[in-house]
Amino acid sequence: MAKQYELTYTIDKNLALDEANALFERVVSYFPQAITSGKERDFFSLEFYSEPEIIQDLEKKIKSEPQIKKHVIIKKEKIKIMRMRTKTKNAPEPVSSQEEQKVEKAQLKEIDEKLKQIFGE
């Protein structure tokens, strides 16, 4: 199964612009499944998909380019996005069962008194 990787490399600052672009195109051709790329004057980055077994061959190709000074290939990991739980400002505090029973009893007493008034008992 193909994994997502990122190649980042630097080149000699004295390399001519057209040579740097030619090198970039040559490096991109090593990666048939390149998805994004970015380049500055002497700093290049490329994201791609590849089988893990092929990475060593790609490393050899990159090392064989004399204009590339430093490089790194990293495996991109999927990031799991987690939502933070927040407490709403107006949320009532949880009430214990004893407090609920007291409130229920008080309400029942009020209802009983009103019924007595209505029926005259």
User: Does pLDDT of 71 surpass 90?
Assistant: yes
pLDDT in tens, 74-99: 998 876 677 776 666 666 666 566 77
**Domains identified in the chain, total number:** 1
pLDDT, mean of residues 56-75: 91
Q: Is residue 38 part of a domain?
A: yes
User: Does pLDDT of 8 surpass 80?
Assistant: yes
Q: Is residue 23 part of a domain?
A: yes
Q: Note if the pTM is more than 0.75.
A: no
pLDDT in tens, 32-41: 677 767 777 7
Nearest to 28 by CA among 61, 53, 4, 56: 61
Q: Which residues of 31-51 are buried (b: 16+ CB within 10 A; e: fewer)?
A: beebeeeeeeeeebebbbebe
**Residue 27 exposed, middle or buried by CB count within 10 Å (0-12, 13-18, 19+):** buried
Calculate the alpha carbon distances from 73 to 3, 54, 121 in Å.
12, 12, 89
Q: What is the pLDDT of residue 94?
A: 61
Retrieve residue 89's tokens.
């400002």
Domain hosting 57: range is 3-75
Supply the CATH number for residue 8's domain.
3.30.70.60
Nearest to 36 by CA among 64, 6, 66: 6
Q: Do residues 4 and 49 lie in contact, with contact meaning Cβ atoms separated by under 8 Å?
A: yes
Q: Is residue 105 part of a domain?
A: no
Q: Is residue 54 part of a domain?
A: yes
